[in-house]
Amino acid sequence: MRPALLNPLFAPVRALPGIGPKTGKLFDRLLSNDGGEARVVDALFHLPQGTIDRRARPKIRDAERDAIVTLEVTVTEHRPPNGRFSKAPFRVIVEDETGDVELVFFLANHQWIERMLPLGEKRWVSGKLELWDGHLQMVHPDRVLDAAGLARLPPVEAVYGLTEGLYQRNVQRAVEGAFNILPVLPEWNDAAWLKARNFPSFADALAKVHRPQHPQDILPTQPARMRLAFDELLASQLALGLVRARMRETRGRASLGDGHIAKKIEAALPFSLTVSQRRSVDEINADLASDKAMLRLLQGDVGSGKTLVALLTMAHMVEAGRQAAMMAPTEILARQHYERLMPLAQAAGLRLGLITGRDKAGERKATLAALADGEIDILVGTHALFQESVAFRDLGLAVVDEQHRFGVHQRLALGRKGEAVDILVMTATPIPRTLVLTFFGDMDVSTLREKPAGRTPIDTRALPLDRIDEVVAGIGRAITGGGRAYWVCPLVEESENLDVAAAQDRYEVLMQFFGDKVGLIHGKMKGRDKDEAMERFQRGETQILVSTTVIEVGVDVPEASIMVIEHAERFGLAQLHQLRGRVGRGSAKSSCLLLYKTPLGEVAKARIEIMRESEDGFRIAEEDLRLRGEGEVLGTRQSGMPGFRLAQIEMHGEMLEAARDDARMIVERDPELKSPRGEALRVLLYLFGRDEAVGLIKAG
């Protein structure tokens, strides 16, 4: 249960004063972590991107041009436009003893102007001062204030990231509203640590950042920002620490297989395991066979054959007489796993089940009954696996296919579906060691370093966008030969709508050339429509699939041999690599075309160069790290860490170890979080949405 004192912070943002249903929706889009309703805490965690400094209060004569200034003036003249419907602006002349300035208002409400700027009165106007046609003017001052208003004017104003339709003042108001209901929270940090780092309290830190007195107050290296980042790192490390402790405590069960099912699977394979597949299977099976609970990460580049490793280890669990589950991040991927595993499962006599959010009631009931009776050996599914109604006879191993998402905290809760469940997390993102720590805590790691034999290298080329016609012609030739191509359209700024529009436009252009051979898939489509678009491409009914990057790139279509990435300069290296990994899966020679907009910046040039040189995900991850700072290794657009909102690895990574050590000490000394600090730490876990871990704390 969330501590009641946090309730105001978990109320929806739209409950704050001044936010209606329409802006409420925009706030959901801007702030929500999970696509749901934005909450008050999300507004507080939406930190400013910059500041406007209004401290300059010069005389008109001395005022800097093209800068923001706040002028103390007397209103001397109103010049309304001639005629009511004139498009000319309403001008107001103001002065001080050193000069005058024309305030310019387009399409202004005359009454408002007369009320705000009465003739002969003293006012303060703040905005950008420009020299135009020989005189000074300020077009639409940001602020028009009387003495009382001036007293309330923040000297430095926070500037926030926005979404289409929202304005600074909307966000400023929401943040202010959030401050007004911010409860007094207990201190969860160690007093000595706070003192040593000169960290303010949580509330003071938020205030410092949202109500800056100096432009530098919002910088990530300031104590206030560092404190907030540390809180977030501590919450995540503590959550991982609690999961770990719980797993260590629950004595594992030794699950020893005799190899009879795995043998049949291997016999049915048209190839043999790679060295690192074999080693990984052995490592995992050794964990399963020991009575220690397993928490292991299997990392391997796209196409390195993780699924097979998972299957063989699940088979090991089934040989030991228990069940296994495999969870995929999306519906499409869950189905794909199910279908891919089926032939091998059948060959080996393994009984597979599938559960997603879209099963028919009757089917689901039958699946659940079979599961409870132990008539299903391996259950594949989406997060629907979590649901209360899903009960195993004896779950022994949970495989979590993360692809490149990082919801690991939540997913670990799968461990609660059985007694002593071993957990294997699979990720397709090669992660440097330091980042493994960040996202997964101190997990054991198995790595698939090499690709299965027989893969032909992908021919990667870079072309300026103005040669797009050649690309279209090339695709035309390829599809007449039966080939299949992905065409990925880039991310446009912060708006998914615009992404979709870009993909839609490209789709229409390509349709003019290739008619109904072209398909389209994007994140705004309904689940069923997405599946259908994907399936038509899989079956070859469409041969060119235009998509945004928000679609599931984990889907496997071996016939696809061309990957076109438009505006490749806008993608991170890891993302380019992931996308390219969609081709080169079959026997045909594959190519990847990186279309870029000229002129290319240095970093973009280097990235494209690396893409042309290498297909090694680990090398690419390292180069990425070198080029852009660790924050972007994981292919996110923002500079932060995925799953983190306040901490940036390149700025705050140095505190990661301190957070981990602190978390370890807490878990050791106060595993039930019962001391006063422990109680405060529970608040912290909830505040940062790591509360799954609270459920893992053993009570009493």
Which stretch in 56-64, 297-305, 375-383, 677-685 sits in contact with ligand ADP by CB under 6 A? 297-305
677 touches ligand ADP by CB under 6 A:
no
302 touches ligand ADP by CB under 6 A:
yes
277 touches ligand ADP by CB under 6 A:
yes
Phi-psi region of 643 (alpha: psi -120 to 50; beta: other; left: phi over 0): left
617 touches ligand ADP by CB under 6 A:
no
Q: What is the spatial distance between Cα 637 and Cα 290, in angstroms, rounded to a whole number?
A: 41
Shortest reach from residue 306's CB to Mg ion, in Å: 5
Give whichever of 323 and 403 is closer to ligand ADP, judged by the CB atom. Answer: 403
Give whichever of 311 and 663 is closer to ligand ADP, judged by the CB atom. Answer: 311
Joined tokens for residue 632: 């972007």
Residue of 15, 182, 273, 627 interacting with ligand ADP (CB under 6 A): 273
Strands of 591-596's sheet in order across: 459-464, 591-596, 560-565, 484-489, 544-548, 518-521
156 contact partners, CB below 8 Å, separation of at least 6: 51, 52, 53, 54, 55, 212, 213, 214, 215, 217
Q: Among residues 518, 603, 604, which one has the least CA distance to residue 568? A: 604
* Contact flags string 126-155 toward ligand ADP, x per CB under 6 A: ------------------------------
Which stretch in 83-91, 284-292, 306-314, 321-329 sits in contact with ligand ADP by CB under 6 A? 306-314
11 contact partners, CB below 8 Å, separation of at least 6: 39, 40, 181
Residue 252's binding partner among Mg ion, ligand ADP, none (Cβ under 5 to 8 angstroms by kind) is: none
Shortest reach from residue 558's CB to ligand ADP, in Å: 7
Q: What is the spatial distance between Cα 288 and Cα 253, in angstroms, rounded to a whole number?
A: 8
Q: What is the spatial distance between Cα 621 and Cα 614, in angstroms, rounded to a whole number?
A: 11
337 touches ligand ADP by CB under 6 A:
no
Q: Among residues 104, 63, 65, 68, which one has the least CA distance to residue 87? A: 104
Shortest reach from residue 339's CB to ligand ADP, in Å: 12
662 contact partners, CB below 8 Å, separation of at least 6: 190, 193, 234, 237, 238
Residue 403's binding partner among ligand ADP, Mg ion, none (Cβ under 5 to 8 angstroms by kind) is: none
Give whichever of 307 and 313 is closer to Mg ion, judged by the CB atom. Answer: 307
Residue of 222, 299, 307, 549 interacting with ligand ADP (CB under 6 A): 307
Phi, psi of 145 (to 5 degrees): -130, 150
Phi, psi of 18 (to 5 degrees): 85, 0
Residue 308's binding partner among Mg ion, ligand ADP, none (Cβ under 5 to 8 angstroms by kind) is: ligand ADP
Give whichever of 89 and 300 is closer to ligand ADP, judged by the CB atom. Answer: 300
CB 393 within 8 Å of CB 373: yes
* Contact flags string 296-325 toward Mg ion, x per CB under 5 A: -----------x------------------
Q: Among residues 298, 568, 556, which one has the least CA distance to residue 430? A: 298
Joined tokens for residue 619: 């090398």
Which stretch in 90-98, 139-147, 267-275, 405-413 sits in contact with ligand ADP by CB under 6 A? 267-275
Residue of 239, 308, 431, 579 interacting with ligand ADP (CB under 6 A): 308
Shortest reach from residue 489's CB to ligand ADP, in Å: 23
Shortest reach from residue 300's CB to Mg ion, in Å: 9
Terminal CA-to-CA distance of the chain, rounded, Å?
Answer: 16
492 touches ligand ADP by CB under 6 A:
no
Residue of 212, 220, 305, 381 interacting with ligand ADP (CB under 6 A): 305
Which stretch in 50-58, 128-136, 186-194, 304-312 sits in contact with ligand ADP by CB under 6 A? 304-312
Within 452-491, the residues that bind ligand ADP by CB under 6 A are: 452
Shortest reach from residue 635's CB to Mg ion, in Å: 16
Residue of 73, 428, 611, 681 interacting with ligand ADP (CB under 6 A): 428
- Torsion angle of the four alpha carbons 649, 650, 655, 660, in this order, in degrees rounded to the nearest 10: 30
User: Of all helices (H) and strands (E), which one includes residue 600?
Assistant: none
Report the relative pairing of strands 395-403 and 323-327 from DSSP bridges: parallel
For every residue of 162-184, DSSP letters joined together read: --TT--HHHHHHHHHHHHHTPPP
Phi, psi of 423 (to 5 degrees): -125, 130
304 touches ligand ADP by CB under 6 A:
yes
Give whichever of 155 and 452 is closer to ligand ADP, judged by the CB atom. Answer: 452
CB 431 within 8 Å of CB 457: no
Give whichever of 172 and 274 is closer to ligand ADP, judged by the CB atom. Answer: 274
* Contact flags string 534-563 toward ligand ADP, x per CB under 6 A: ----------------------x-------
Within 573-612, the residues that bind ligand ADP by CB under 6 A are: 585
Q: What is the spatial distance between Cα 384 and Cα 394, in angstroms, rounded to a whole number?
A: 18
Shortest reach from residue 196's CB to Mg ion, in Å: 45
Residue 411's binding partner among ligand ADP, Mg ion, none (Cβ under 5 to 8 angstroms by kind) is: none
Shortest reach from residue 456's CB to ligand ADP, in Å: 13
Shortest reach from residue 166's CB to Mg ion, in Å: 38
Look at the chain and count its residues.
Answer: 700
Phi, psi of 568 (to 5 degrees): -60, -25
Give whichever of 308 and 462 is closer to ligand ADP, judged by the CB atom. Answer: 308
Give whichever of 385 and 471 is closer to Mg ion, judged by the CB atom. Answer: 385
Which stretch in 177-185, 266-274, 350-358, 648-656 sits in contact with ligand ADP by CB under 6 A? 266-274
Shortest reach from residue 428's CB to ligand ADP, in Å: 6
Residue 300's binding partner among Mg ion, ligand ADP, none (Cβ under 5 to 8 angstroms by kind) is: ligand ADP
SS3 label, residue 460: strand
Shortest reach from residue 405's CB to Mg ion, in Å: 13
Residue of 212, 252, 300, 396 interacting with ligand ADP (CB under 6 A): 300
Residues 14-21: contacts with CB within 8 Å, 24+ apart? 14/38, 15/40, 16/40, 16/43, 16/173, 16/174, 16/177, 16/178, 16/181, 17/173, 17/177, 18/170, 18/173, 18/174, 18/177, 19/170, 19/173, 19/174, 19/177
Residues 109-117: contacts with CB within 8 Å, 24+ apart? 110/80, 113/78, 114/78, 116/144, 117/75, 117/78, 117/92, 117/144
Phi, psi of 453 (to 5 degrees): -65, 160
Within 176-215, the residues that bind ligand ADP by CB under 6 A are: none
How far CA 409 is from CA of 240, 415, 680, 699, in Å, comes to 7, 11, 20, 19
Which stretch in 10-18, 121-129, 270-278, 529-537 sits in contact with ligand ADP by CB under 6 A? 270-278
For ligand ADP, the binding residues (CB under 6 A) are 271, 273-274, 277, 300, 302-308, 428, 452, 556, 585
Q: Rule CB under 5 A: which residues touch Mg ion?
A: 307
